[in-house]
Amino acid sequence: MEMNQPAPPNALDQNRQGLIGKPLDRVDGRLKVTGRAPYAHDVKEGAKPLYGWLVEATIAKGRVSGLDTQAAEKAPGVVLVMTHRNAPKQAPFSLEGEDRFARPRPQLDSAQVQYYGEPVAFVVAETLEQARAAARLVRVSYAAEKGDYELARNITKAEKPKSSEDREPDSAVGDFSGAFAGAAVKVDATYTTPFHIHAQMEPHASLAWWEGDRVVVHCSSQLLESAQKCVAHTLQMPEEKVRIVSRYIGGGFGGKLPIYGDVILAALASRQLGRPVKTALTRQQMFHVTTHRSDTIQRVRLGATREGVLVAIGHEAVSHSARFDDFYETAAKQTRSLYAAANRMTQQRVVKLDLPVSDSARAPGEAVGLLALECAIDELAHQLRLDPVDLRLRNEPKQDPEKNVPYSTRQLVQCMQEGARRFGWNKRNAEPGQVREGRWLVGMGMCASTRGNLLRPSQCKVQMKSDGTLTAKMSMTDIGTGSYTIFTQIAAEMLGLPPEKVNVQLGDSDFPPTAGSGGSFGAASAGSALYDACENLRKKLAQGAGIDPAQARFEGGKVSGAGKTATLAGLAGASGIEADGEVKPGDMEKKFSQQAYGAQFAEVAVDMDSGEVRVRRVLGVFAAGRILNAKTARSQALGGMIWGIGNALHEEAVVDARHGFFVNHDLGEYHVPVHADIPAIEAIFLPEVDDKTNPLKIKGVGELGISGAGAAVANAIFNATGVRIRDYPLTLDKVLEGLAQQQANAGAPPKA
């Protein structure tokens, strides 16, 4: 099916069994908590594996000038030391193709070093410990070159990135410059955000072996079709000769969208040695071998009337990419649709640096873009002496202000109003620094949240078996978000089965292709393909029972209608009945602006002596279409909000500007929130059904919670202290500096 018109009423709307929206426990939960869910490194299929270990470059730019592998080759258990001198030929890296995750990713293909941590050798041995020990014996010398590692110092080298179908770097409506210059009230502020690391619970790992001329790879990958193409393109072999399996993934957040050196090198070594090769990255290696979120510099300009009506809105964002890559952080994209203003401008630029590859991290664009925009809106509200919620209400657009199409659904106003009511926003003191409890200054802040909604082509196959169970197969992955569970609910509701009678099989490229997990499009895309397959199966079963499909009722493992009843097991027969399903995006995504929305509120306390910030409570109210599972959706929203708090207060990967590497490359020094940092947090979803998005009438949930959350905390800190910090994270040294500046200004003589 193709989304060329609104989705009609269907079985999910009827929800006769009440499974849609039910807070069903995760169907894979018991496997996970008992340690029986096989993650990539746990897989024991195939023969006894060898173990590989990466040797990383210790310079950020230059070339390998000397290699001594003799000691490593003679070490106990070592069977191979692969370097650029003996690595098999692979396809060169290329920027061609719309799917950047399907590009060739050659390893050890030259003596050049493009970033710190790039693999320069791969040691394979009988045990992991032997491979690790031998890797330390590889001696590498370098001819280092001077590189560029800092965005701010290279801002003059910023260039316009290339356009693509869904990534246009610039937009313009009306006369922004003229309108901003003539505005009665203005905000012109620059915000900076640092590098962010995905920090998934499960490190990257892979196991590869060959079955004749076909390679089988178990790895931790969000996008199996892209991974399959990447391996095939790199090894210069047909795609059907590559099988990627990723049944369970311990978190992705975008960090498992690409394929990395562990997969390619394991596949190359396995082919050469004729044995399976298993490789795992250490936590420290992940900081350089895998991707990260780029740092950004963002200038936001707002011009408004004295009544608080925006007349000009401009957002310019600069991020970095690796020297050889083309990714950039689309930090200005949400500004194109969130608020009304007749005159508009967004501009995104990229600076090429000699750093590891930057790429998508949870809510690419919005997560950091809203840290700037929503603080700028708060600054404007303060200037105008308007309530921040009221200011946003005054600038609510009637349609998408740049696409000039209606919104599919938009409950941002309702989210803000309901959030304000539940949070007790009316008790907020609008004057900063006025609420004090002992040495703690207390404040409230809020922000609006938005995240674009996407639908991607996907397919599914379902089979009703003679035992009355339904099996569904898709290459879709579950990155910890609950895919297995919500697909079980969809299939069970469609066929009138109890959840225990549904067997969802995911994570294998031999299954029907899907878009995978990423961009919050996974549930909508793969779930819609599953819906279509179940709809087609319903028709077959009804017809087999002599019932008009339009009148068929599926319940209790039976189909009934027009006075007839038949069991699904009986209709399936000994060989079972199969049906295929498919979904494709269509005209709906062009005719309607599709986003999910939310409003987030935070209360913080700031120690006036130390500058310490304590988040006391956080509330998010969201509208994201139909909710498939109340429990998993809430969990996703809470996780995103917690990450947003981390963006505001904790997370910052620091680059050594002399040598181009991340200094704090472990979870001991790269700080993320812990339980003590999050004392009270809640997420609420407003009722909503969006028939313009997909047949499920849902929107993406996973990334909405992080979008803007940090700005609510930043605005609360300002309300508590009167200190406005525009450089994230908002650490205590910056708070103290602001408080000291306040005191200095208070004691300064008046200006002449």
- Structural domains in the chain, sorted by start: 11-37+456-584 (3.30.365.10), 365-397+406-454+591-746 (3.30.365.10)
Instruction: Return the active site residues.
Output: 703
What's this model's pTM, rounded to 2 decimal places? Answer: 0.97
Which residue is listed with tokens 């004090």? 436
Torsion from C-alpha of 271, 277, 283, 285, nearest 10 degrees: -30
Please provide the DSSP assignment of 566-619 as one string.
EEHHHHHTTT-EEEEEEEB--THHHHSB-EEEEEEEEEEEEETTT--EEEEEEE
Please provide the DSSP assignment of 190-247 as one string.
EEEE-BB----SSPPEEEEEEETTEEEEEE--S-HHHHHHHHHHHHT--GGGEEEE-S
Please provide the DSSP assignment of 536-551 as one string.
HHHHHHHHHTT--GGG
Which residue is listed with tokens 């408080």? 739
Q: What is the pLDDT of residue 213?
A: 98
Q: What is the pLDDT of residue 750?
A: 52
Q: What is the pLDDT of residue 165?
A: 60
Q: How confident is the chain (752 residues) per 10-residue block, as mean pLDDT?
A: 97 97 97 96 94 98 98 98 98 94 98 98 98 98 98 97 83 98 98 98 98 98 98 98 98 98 98 98 98 98 98 98 97 98 98 98 98 98 98 98 98 98 98 97 98 97 98 98 98 98 98 97 98 98 97 97 96 97 97 98 97 98 98 98 98 97 97 95 98 98 97 98 98 97 80 46
Structure tokens at 57: 């470059």
Are 270 and 208 a contacting pair, CB within 8 Å?
A: yes
Which residue is listed with tokens 């499960």? 202
Which of 443, 406, 438 is CA-nearest to residue 690?
A: 406
Q: What is the pLDDT of residue 752?
A: 41
Are 369 and 334 a contacting pair, CB within 8 Å?
A: yes
